[in-house]
Amino acid sequence: MTQQPVWNFEQEPFDESPDEIAINLRAYFDRMPDDKMRQYSPTWSDDRVIEWDGNFRDDGNLMLVCCERDVDVKEYRRVIEECIRYRKRVGPGTSSGDRV
């Protein structure tokens, strides 16, 4: 059974007016386990980020369901780094006590 995260990055305030894809991307990161997110490094090349995530299409855009637009690796990096800061701020994400 999949454990639901305690955090809700998807509902955090946005700096700009979000579209459906921006919300879906945040929800995607809400579901990413802490141990995987802790592996992420902003020093990685774009190719390394794409390989590490494993859900990018051959055209270099993230595979999300019901996309109105593409999410490229630049947007992915910006939002995952926001999510990492969010998780550090809110603390433990699951009952296991794992933290980013």
Task: Tell me, letter by letter, the H, E, C secondary structure of 1-65.
Answer: CCCCCCCCHHHCCCCCCCCHHHHHHHHHHHCCCHHHHHHCCCCCCHHHHHHHHCCECCCCEECCC
- Model confidence at 10, pLDDT cuts 50, 70, 90, reads confident
Q: Compute the average pLDDT of residues 76-85.
A: 96
Domain assignment present for residue 41? The answer is yes
Domain assignment present for residue 96? The answer is no
Sign of CA dihedral 87, 79, 71, 52: negative
Domain assignment present for residue 9? The answer is no
Q: Compute the average pLDDT of residues 79-89.
A: 94
Number of independent structural domains in the chain: 1
Domain range enclosing 72? 18-90
More confident: 75 or 68: 75
Domain assignment present for residue 60? The answer is yes
Residues 51-74 pLDDT 10s: 999 999 999 999 987 778 899 999
Q: Name the average pLDDT for the chain.
A: 85
Domain assignment present for residue 30? The answer is yes
Domain assignment present for residue 99? The answer is no
Orientation angle between helical segments 20-30 and 73-90, nearest 10 degrees: 50
Domain assignment present for residue 1? The answer is no
Q: What is the pTM of this model?
A: 0.82
